[in-house]
Structure 1
Amino acid sequence: MPVATFCLVALDCPEPRELAEFYRELLGGEVKRYGDDWYDLFAADGTRLAFQRAPGMRPPSWPQADDNSQQLHLDLRVTDLGAAERHALELGARPLDTDDDEGRREFRVYADPAGHPFCFVYGT
């Protein structure tokens, strides 16, 4: 029998309001502020992401490097990779692995404005 239930993922970042707004633009929903150092995004699908101020945060590298593991990444399901990519880049995302040359068309990897990796995963 479980003793806990999942409630959110919290991302460290230098500017929590800006990162919460970035993900709100991707996922929809509502951003709520809990002081200057913590913001929550209650996404349209019920998912909850939190953003915590961490002034000394170092973004993970992609792909993993021996001295700085990626720690985690978010997978975001999309129905149109091209449209999702254009929107994310307009919001300040940076491409990390978008190579479709080998026939891979089901996912692409980006960094959010704070440097956290996330993937757009094609699916319906």
Structure 2
Amino acid sequence: MTAVARLRAVVLDCPDPGALAAFYAAVAGGTPRTGDEDWVVLQIPGGPRLDFQRAEGYTPPEWPRADRNSQQFHLDFDAGSTWAEVDAAHEKVLALGARPLDLEDREKKDFQVYADPAGHPFCLCRIEEP
């Protein structure tokens, strides 16, 4: 199928674009570029572009909720092929300000769920070796 357009960026609403861009730069790499105080761009090396937009009155998503203010979307990050690598990434994202949402049954699911400092859910995933 022929594409109609090319994905430019994933945009996250948040109360502080600079702070959230710095968090994701520490997680995935890249250097945030500020357009103004209400918009920050982060090009992840070898990956997608994340943009952060100030949203007045921002209310973080609730996870897991399907009835109101649900997660809407989340980001998945490959954190390594061993649980030791995922555990190291776990410690680093906690130090950066993430909070755990679901760390249960990781051996069955191969991922753990966190909230970023603005409350958006994201996962650290174990990469399955072929």
- State the TM bucket, normalised to the shorter chain: over 0.9
The CA deviation at 1:105 is: 5.6
- Structure 1 counterpart of 2:91, one-letter code: R
Give 1:13-24 correspondences, 5 Å limit: 13-24=14-25
Corresponding residue for residue 43 of structure 1:
44
Corresponding residue for residue 89 of structure 1:
94
Q: Distance in 2 between matches of 1:100 and 1:67?
A: 25
Residue 7 (1) aligns with residue 8 (2):
yes
TM (norm. structure 2) is 0.89
Give 1:36-115 correspondences, 5 Å limit: 36-79=37-80, 80-100=85-105, 103-104=107-108, 106-115=110-119
Q: Runs of 4 or more off by more than 3 Å in structure 1?
A: none
More helix by share: 2
Superposed CA offset, 1:68-94 (max 9, x none): 221110011110210111000000000
Match of 1:104, SS? helix
- Structure 1 counterpart of 2:104, one-letter code: D
The CA deviation at 1:99 is: 1.2
Match of 2:78, SS? strand
- Structure 2 counterpart of 1:60, one-letter code: P
Q: Distance in 1 between matches of 2:17 and 2:58?
A: 12
Q: Distance in 1 between matches of 2:108 and 2:18?
A: 34
Superposed CA offset, 1:16-40 (max 9, x none): 0000000000011111000110001
Structure 2 unaligned spans of 5+: none
